Structure 1
Amino acid sequence: MDAYEEKIYNILKQEFDPKNLQVKDVSGGCGSMFAISVESTKFKGIPMIKQHRLVNEVLKDEIAQWHGLQLQTKSV
């Protein structure tokens, strides 16, 4: 995990206290596209689209610099 992936990881870890969290730069290393998977009890009872909105809100400053995001969320 590079420093930027770790930054994103730490932001999500702090906000969602995930049971499982994966952050991967899938842009070939330039930091413009990420694949993120978050499994958290904080998503319990929340529809997937709202889960995605929560993640997008937390990462909005980072996402503004990206070309794309592959996001998976799951309630545990």
Structure 2
Amino acid sequence: ATSYLNAEELLRAETEDGLEKLQTVVGVFRCVRETFKTYRQKVAAMASHYSTPKCWDFPSTLVFTRFDGFLARVLQLK
């Protein structure tokens, strides 16, 4: 995402082009988070079929801390 949203290019671009890039990044980030949630639920459902279930029981902040910070900065620009 950082290479797609190069700060210099973003500031030099037309407003509409820059906004379109920001919207694309926000959409991709939301899709990644939804995909994570979906597969986390699927793993939990599948794990119930095994005698020693392997769930994704780690905090999502371990995965999304930097992700959320970057998304917050992108949303400020938007």
The verdict on a shared fold, with TM-score over 0.5 as the criterion, is no
TM-score by length of 2: 0.31
User: Which has the larger share of helix?
Assistant: 2
Bigger Cα Rg: 2
